[in-house]
């Protein structure tokens, strides 16, 4: 939190804004970004249907669709709620590459590609080309405070994005008791898996 406040103040102070105002802006921005992290606690109140059994199903289905000639692996790290500990530990012991993280595939909604830092344009382009016209993806920077395994990989030098499919209603269910199979049929999993598989094949050429 201190680093965020200091960086924001240093970047904005030369513009002539009063330092006290800058600190309040930085404090509010930091608090807003910290809320999702503070809400991400380890527990058993959620079945985890959308977050993230659906993502695991999409990745495993995609792996089965990818041609045998494609050098592709599957990573299922744990401890995402503990500062992305699993992905960070794995990345520390491996060379960098390209990663397509899948985090949440709801039945309804929009296909979204999220990136950290700078967008890996060739990865985004491959996913966009693999998506059918009815599922054209929306590309955006990772929202403030949201942590996914692609964040840890990107920080380690990987060309990594997170792919998800859902809506605001999806976000309202995750990490709650409503994230169960009662609210998920899995109707978009095969489509997202196909997109991931085609993108992986394109990126491997």
Whether residues 106 and 165 share a domain: the answer is yes
Q: Is residue 16 part of a domain?
A: yes
Q: Is residue 44 part of a domain?
A: no
Give the residues across from 166 on adjacent strands. 110
pLDDT tens digits, the chain, 205 residues: what are they?
Answer: 223 334 333 334 345 445 455 445 444 544 444 445 444 555 668 999 999 899 999 999 999 999 999 999 999 998 777 789 989 999 999 999 999 999 999 999 999 999 998 999 999 999 999 999 999 999 999 998 888 999 999 999 999 999 999 999 999 999 899 999 999 999 999 999 999 999 999 999 8
Q: Is residue 63 part of a domain?
A: yes
Q: Is residue 185 part of a domain?
A: yes
Phi-psi region of 117 (alpha: psi -120 to 50; beta: other; left: phi over 0): left
Contact between 50 and 166 (Cβ < 8 Å): yes
Give this prediction's pTM: 0.79
> What are the tokens at 4?
């965020």
Q: The domain that contains 131 carries what CATH number?
A: 3.40.630.10
Give the residues across from 105 on adjacent strands. 165
Domain that holds residue 71: 49-204
Residue located via tokens 């985004």 = 124
Domain count, the chain: 2
Whether residues 26 and 120 share a domain: the answer is no
pLDDT at 21: 53
């Amino acid at each position: 939190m201190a680093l965020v406040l200091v960086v924001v103040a240093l970047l904005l102070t030369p513009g002539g804004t009063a330092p006290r105002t800058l600190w309040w802006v930085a404090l509010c921005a930091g608090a807003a970004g910290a809320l999702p992290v503070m809400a991400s606690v380890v527990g058993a109140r959620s079945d985890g249907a959308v977050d993230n059994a659906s993502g695991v199903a999409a990745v495993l289905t995609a792996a089965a669709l990818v041609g045998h000639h494609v050098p592709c692996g599957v990573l299922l790290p744990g401890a995402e709620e503990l500062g992305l500990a699993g992905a960070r530990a794995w990345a520390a012991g491996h060379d960098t590459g390209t990663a397509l993280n899948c985090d949440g595939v709801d039945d309804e909604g929009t296909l979204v590609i999220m990136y950290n830092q700078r967008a890996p344009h060739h990865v985004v382009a491959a996913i966009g080309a693999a998506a059918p016209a009815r599922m054209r993806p929306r590309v955006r920077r990772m929202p403030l405070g949201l942590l996914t395994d692609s964040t840890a990989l990107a920080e380690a030098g990987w060309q990594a994005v997170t792919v998800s499919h859902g809506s605001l209603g999806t976000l309202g269910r995750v990490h709650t008791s409503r994230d169960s199979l009662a609210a998920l049929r899995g109707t978009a999993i095969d489509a997202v898996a196909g997109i991931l598989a085609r993108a992986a094949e394109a990126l491997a050429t």
